[in-house]
Amino acid sequence: MQLDEKIWFWFLLVIPAMVLLFLILQIWKHKTQKRFADKKLLERLSPDKSLFKSILKLFVWSLAIAFLVFGLVNPKIGTKLETVKREGVDIVFAIDVSKSMLAEDIAPNRLEKSKQLVTQIINNLASDRIGVIAYAGKAFPQLPITTDYASAKMFLQSMNTDMLSSQGTAIDEAIQLARTYYDDEEQTNRVLIIISDGEDHNDIAVDVAEAAAEEGIKIFTIGVGELKGGPIPIKRNGIVLNYKKDSKGETVITKLNEDTLKEIAQEGNGEYVNGRNTNQVVETVRDILNKLDKKEFEAKQFSEYKDQFQWFLGFAIFFLFIDIFLLERKTAWLKRLNLFNENL
């Protein structure tokens, strides 16, 4: 399904505004009428007045507006699923979610900056396949190789430093897991992009990167953070309560370790990119991918979409038409039903 004009969804806010206005109006009318006369006299003066009919009209108007909004959004439904041939590169993003990524030496913090970088890279891809890995003390598969960029960005935004219980930064674990992502051993266009501050708590990442390179996996690293480093904030409800301290009670300063990331990239037949400038990172990655051989693969996608707005507009007109015949006074059948005990 596709949605053409999502901005129209904001007009759904008219419905709760109408309900609130209706409630305020009813309260005001009740107080005003109470000052004017007692309940029995009001019922004699307006015997056909019906609260139920007023609520029913509000409900009908709400439905009409809701269907009108969905009609303006213009949902489209795929009607034909076909297999198409595409060419591209298989890219796995390994994102560091250790606590050091909460450091705010680069705005808004290292993890959010990493997510922004990956999102922008994905936005500039054409027909490549992508996968996502999260890692700290251990590596965890987030998304297998896919062409569904929307799902990738959704999983990406949900990543945080609390998703993995084991803390630390084991880049070797991420590389090992990435090696299982690629489904073609003969493939020469396998790419692993590691986004991290480079604080590796394990010394074997370089050796693992070399082994991955022998399998044809090119490893590129993107460093996020500053060389001078920064403290790791401990927050609650967005407010900094304290900063992480070591066993001696000293504030921990986490720094960008470019040397480790450069060494991993070198052993992985790739290159290191500083992640400070988003546009520069995106352009560098685009140039790198353009130089790689493309692999042909099959992908299923909807090739034909049909507009569905007419159904929603039809229902909106129907409910507006119904509203014409809904009077606010009681009708004979409503009197017999005596809803809300209005005749008592």
- What pLDDT sits at residue 340? 47
pLDDT(75) > 70: yes
Angstrom distance (rounded) from CA 214 to CA 172: 15
- What pLDDT sits at residue 333? 47
Q: Measuring CA to CA, which residue among 259, 245, 139 is closest to residue 199?
A: 259
Going by pLDDT thresholds of 50, 70 and 90, the confidence category of residue 290 is confident
User: Domains in the chain, please, with CATH?
Assistant: 2-74+308-341 (no CATH), 83-299 (3.40.50.410)
Whether pTM exceeds 0.85 = no
Angstrom distance (rounded) from CA 225 to CA 230: 9
Going by pLDDT thresholds of 50, 70 and 90, the confidence category of residue 80 is low
Least confident segment among 80-94, 125-139, 188-202, 271-285? 80-94
- What pLDDT sits at residue 231? 92
Q: Measuring CA to CA, which residue among 147, 116, 119 is closest to residue 131?
A: 147
pLDDT tens sequence across 124-169: 987 888 999 999 988 999 999 888 888 899 999 889 988 887 777 7
By CB atoms closer than 10 A (0-12, 13-18, 19+), residue 259 is exposed
pLDDT(66) > 80: yes
Q: How confident is the model over 1-22, as a mean pLDDT?
A: 84
- What pLDDT sits at residue 236? 83
The DSSP secondary-structure symbol of 276 reads S
Answer yes or no: are the C-beta atoms of 132 and 262 closer than 8 Å: no
Q: How confident is the model over 175-188, as a mean pLDDT?
A: 78
CA angle 252, 198, 232 (to 5 degrees): 25
Percent of the chain with pLDDT over 90: 38
pLDDT(332) > 70: no
Angstrom distance (rounded) from CA 229 to CA 244: 14
Give the DSSP letter string of 172-185.
HHHHHHHTTT-S-T
pLDDT(189) > 90: no
Answer yes or no: are the C-beta atoms of 140 and 164 closer than 8 Å: yes
Cα four-point dihedral sign 297, 300, 304, 306: negative
Q: Residues near 260 by Cβ (< 8 Å), separated by ≥ 6?
A: 171, 198, 199, 200, 205, 206
Amino acid at the residue 203:
D
